[in-house]
Structure 1
Amino acid sequence: MGRKSTFGPEQQATNTSSKIVAALERLSEVFRVLLWDNAKQHGISPIQIQVLTFLLHYPEEQRTITFLAAHFNMTKATISDAVKSLEAKNYLIRKVTATDTRSHTLHLIKAGKALAKKVECFAYPLQNTLSLTCSKEQSALLEHLLQLIFKLNREGIITPQRMCLNCHFYTQKGGHYCNLVPCKLKAADLRVDCPEFQFPQ
């Protein structure tokens, strides 16, 4: 007999991991609904919202189709299509990199920046709800989620994320420890996306 479905109510009633998977699915639905509702208001797609938000906040060297594809766990073709659409709507432009004329970086122009600032608020309802949870519980949740992401990275299910647990500077010395700072980190100090991140050598 094969494994019982995670989504069957009877399986969920007796299996904690199935309940967690079902809960995570509900949360992913929250993101999907919030993204779609926001996207429809502005006549763009959910992927385009994610691209705009990324380009608004990340440094130039990371604003490439290759980096975006890895960051969002999407194919280069999917990201390229989203970028072409935003380019056609005059929200961004491409600039050839000085070191390699075959590659380019993406830059929001005035209209793109204005739209990005409007659409990035799509996650506020979820963030506002989380803010009602005490800091201790938020820290514990963050730690558990990063551990889950780390395991999914190791299994090759999603691309390695630029977070503490994947970083060259991270070790466990009686807890979380950053060798770059250097100091011990509390769970709340752990980063999902760190500017100083380096892949293990």
Structure 2
Amino acid sequence: MVKESIFNPDHQAGSVPSKVVAAMERLSEAFRVLLWNEAKHHGISSTIQIQLLTFLLYYPESKRTVTYLANYFNMTKATISDAVKSLESKGLVQRKASETDTRSHCLYLSREGKSMARKAEKFAHPMQMAVLSLPADKQNALLEQLLKLIGNLNEQGVITPQSMCANCRYYATKGRTGHYCTLVQRMFRIVDLKLDCPDFEAVGHA
């Protein structure tokens, strides 16, 4: 149980966990600033619209639905629907009825939408440059620890479960630090661990 305020500088001075949490909050502010600046630059009214454009540029058709996006971004379906409608009005996104479920619609980027998404995704470049400034071994260690933190937040119910290795029924550990995938039957290096795996299946999935 946290008894002292994480954001109290006097408490932070002697608490590494509090400093880590406060540092992550600063990083989240950096992402908000970068997203908002990119949105303003392209005349887009909300940061989630930038995130939707970049998502739709790369993810498969099965995941390009309002329901999936709401779950992925931890937002309500109404919020995602409003953002999609705004992008539709700008001619950046189109809806098409699903061939397998007539009650559902799949989202597609128009030619203008793809062009916009490729420009807008550059918002994250400053963050990537910051990571690239670290030695390779530090990057690997940071990735492993971030995946553990995300997994813990999944368990707490703070964010929806991610389709990453540690949440997958094919994932196993060997030894103290070994990562093993039973699907491909091989050990994974840290660099092989995925945050979004196309072969992901939740634990308990038959």
**TM superposition score normalised by structure 2:** 0.95
SS of aligned partner of 1:184 = strand
Q: Which residue of 1 aligns with 2:71?
A: 70
Q: Which residue of 1 aligns with 2:190?
A: 187
Cα distance, 1:168 vs structure 2? 1.2
Equivalent position amino acid for 2:196 in 1:
D
Distance 2:66 2:58 in 1: 15
Runs of 4+ in structure 1 displaced over 2 angstroms? none
Q: Which residue of 1 aligns with 2:16?
A: 16
Cα distance, 1:9 vs structure 2? 0.3
Equivalent position amino acid for 2:167 in 1:
N
Distance 1:101 1:190 in 2: 36
Distance 1:40 1:190 in 2: 34
Deviations 1:101-157 (A, max 9, x none): 111100001111110011011000110121111111001000000001001101111
Identity %: 57
SS of aligned partner of 1:95 = strand
Equivalent position amino acid for 1:41 in 2:
H
Cα distance, 1:48 vs structure 2? 0.2
User: Any gaps of 5 or more consecutive residues in structure 2?
Assistant: none
Q: Which residue of 1 aligns with 2:6?
A: 6
Equivalent position amino acid for 1:112 in 2:
G
SS of aligned partner of 2:13 = helix
Cα distance, 1:186 vs structure 2? 1.4
Cα distance, 1:74 vs structure 2? 1.1
Match of 1:197 among 192, 196, 200: 200
1:176 maps to 2:184: no
Distance 1:59 1:130 in 2: 27
Distance 2:166 2:199 in 1: 13
Aligned residues: 200
Q: Which residue of 2 aligns with 1:48?
A: 49
Cα distance, 1:181 vs structure 2? 1.3
Equivalent position amino acid for 1:163 in 2:
M
Cα distance, 1:189 vs structure 2? 1.4
Distance 1:8 1:189 in 2: 38
Q: CA RMSD in A?
A: 1.0
User: Any gaps of 5 or more consecutive residues in structure 1?
Assistant: none
